[in-house]
Structure 1
């Protein structure tokens, strides 16, 4: 098992190296330079060049890439051009809010997705097949509707309630997780206020992973329901609930775990639109702000964090494979 984990970690190294290289290259594909953005149109060419030289903008690309990698290995992602603060400190303040939003969306998406997928898989005969068609339609709608459009609709529908909420910046940050900070403050009214702030963006963000998990659960359970061991379990007189939970759902979890891990990583790294629409102070809004003002160190640091999240999620999914599927464990043991 330790050898398997080590191999997976070694596979992650070229992925992260490739992402960091793309980050450096993409910065030069955008028109303009950081100096032009921060000095402004009225700045002299000498001032623009001086600023670009101070950040190594004219250095060869391999040198810039090596500097980024070496700084990331030392925990130094540079300083933001706009705030002059270390990027790592700013990310420490923003990432917890995104994690909290992603967890809230995941708490909505995972149980509902498993439930809807299981219901759709079991409802194969009339009149229960109507549930299958209804669930499939809802899942297709959840994948098709743009998150920002759904977020705007929710804001319009719940606008009067949103107007009564207190701004989040009135909460004194302790852990960076707003719900936990409100609980630590010991104010029930503040807890309710934070949950109300969190509800709409979490609901909007959960629609796509909910739909994906439901569709994958339905497909995986339908495949398992046709296996010989399920018919054998019925022939032995086992009840439908025991067959579904112990035999069908358990054997259908391997592909579901795959999409679940990927979707959770997507929630952490892909909440840009949701956070922007709802002005949630997380990593997504940080990326948008950094891109709009061409704050190169901030943008590069945030993208690297997102890449690490995806790699860590894939590694976690691989380890869950081993825990859930005895065939994979047997294969790993056979290689020894």
Structure 2
């Protein structure tokens, strides 16, 4: 019996070692090609998710349109100002913007214009809203993408350290993550401005610099770091919790008791099983980054959509407020829908539920 038990343990150890010796990239992403090649593409699930995203965008568009209409003041006052105006001038503005039509008709007309790529006319800038979006949206996207890279790198490293280091180092990282997640984004920006812009002037404090890639990266480093702190804290906290749970599972404890290399255990079991929760939380990181870019652009005087949105709100430019809000909402909803579809491919439990 003892020999059979030893033989069984030896076979299990050989199987485990053979399984862990597979290429890391192949093991991490092996569900994707098999699932696609099998022809079991989740068409219904994708359609349902896209329809849900469309309904979310429609709801946000109606809410934005209603809030702009219910805001204090009127479009006539915003365009003509508070100076004296004739009744003919007020009537001409109301006719040009169809303000005498029912609210539902105005909403449908605005929604139809969005479907054609017409977001209306900005009276503050005297140009189409779509032109403002085309000019300022690349700045916000570049800043958000740069910040997202920082969030991924810092959040991953801190999450792994907090999960695998059980001494003072892990506890210090957890305290730092909790503290960082409680600081507002604009406060992070002000501290970075004071530290690296005034005390130790390593980076520029305002503006975008030249339109070259390296100049943009250099000028947006401080804003990207300030914007990435909340996202990095979210990612690190999630990854630390997931890895802590995984490392207490029986299969991981068995692998560690067999003396398997800790790096192999982390890559084959820890990272692969943490992949789906991390992908799920990336939607929250993206939303936090895009929304927080408004305050960061104001802090560092960056002419992106955030700065344009604040100026539009101050000047009661309803068309520009609606257009920018819709673009940001569509971007966030689209990214979350894509991440949900990726999770469907990555999580075998969802595929088993479908089958």
Q: Is the 8 A contact 2:204 2:219 kept in 1?
A: no
Partner of 1:268: 290
- The 5-angstrom pairing of residues 1-336 of structure 1 reads 1-44=42-85, 46=87, 47-124=89-166, 129-160=167-198, 161=201, 168=208, 171=210, 178=211, 182-183=212-213, 191=214, 193-332=215-354, 334=355
Task: Decide whether the 8 Å contact of 1:35 with 1:51 is kept in 2.
Answer: yes
| 1:131 Cα deviation from its structure 2 partner | 1.5
Aligned partners of 2:280, 2:204: CA distance in 1, in Å?
A: 40
What are the superposed Cα offsets for residues 271-290 of structure 1, whole Å, 9 maximum, x if unpaired?
A: 11011111111111111111
- Of 253-262 and 197-206, more deviation after overlay is shown by 253-262
Worse-matched range after superposition: 308-317 or 49-58: 49-58
Q: 1:276 to 1:48 in 2, by over 3 A?
A: farther
Instruction: Say what the alpha-carbon RMSD is for the aligned residues.
Output: 2.0
Which string of whole-angstrom CA distances, capped at 9 and with x for unpartnered residues, describes residues 225-277 of structure 1? 11122123224432111111110121012122111122113312431101111
C-alpha distance in 2, partners of 1:301/1:106?
24
Q: Are the aligned partners of 1:20 and 1:68 in contact in 2 as well (CA < 8 Å)? A: no
Q: Measure how far apart 1:162 and its partner are.
A: 7.7
Show structure 2 runs of 5+ residues with no match: 1-41
Partner residue, 1:175: none
Counterpart-to-counterpart distance in 1, 2:127 and 2:274: 48
Alpha-carbon distance in 1 for matches of 2:119, 2:342: 32
Count of matched residue positions in the alignment of Structure 1 and Structure 2? 311
SS of the residue 1:263 aligns to: helix
Decide whether aligned partners of structure 1 residues 35 and 232 sit closer, same or farther in structure 2, where only a CA change above 3 A counts: same
Shift of 1:217: 0.5
Secondary structure at the counterpart of residue 44 of structure 2: helix
TM-score by length of 2: 0.82
**Max Rg structure:** 2
Is the Cα contact below 8 Å between 2:75 and 2:316 reproduced in 1? Answer: yes
SS at match of 1:43: coil
Q: Which runs of 4+ in 1 moved over 6 A?
A: 162-166
Aligned to 1:174: none
Question: 2:95 & 2:221 partners in 1: Cα distance?
Answer: 46
- DSSP 3-state at the match of 1:270: helix
Residues 233 and 331 from structure 1, CA distance in 2 versus in 1: closer, same or farther, beyond 3 angstroms? same
Contact 1:33 1:52 in 2 (8 A): no
Mapped contact 2:293–2:306 kept (Cα < 8 A) = yes
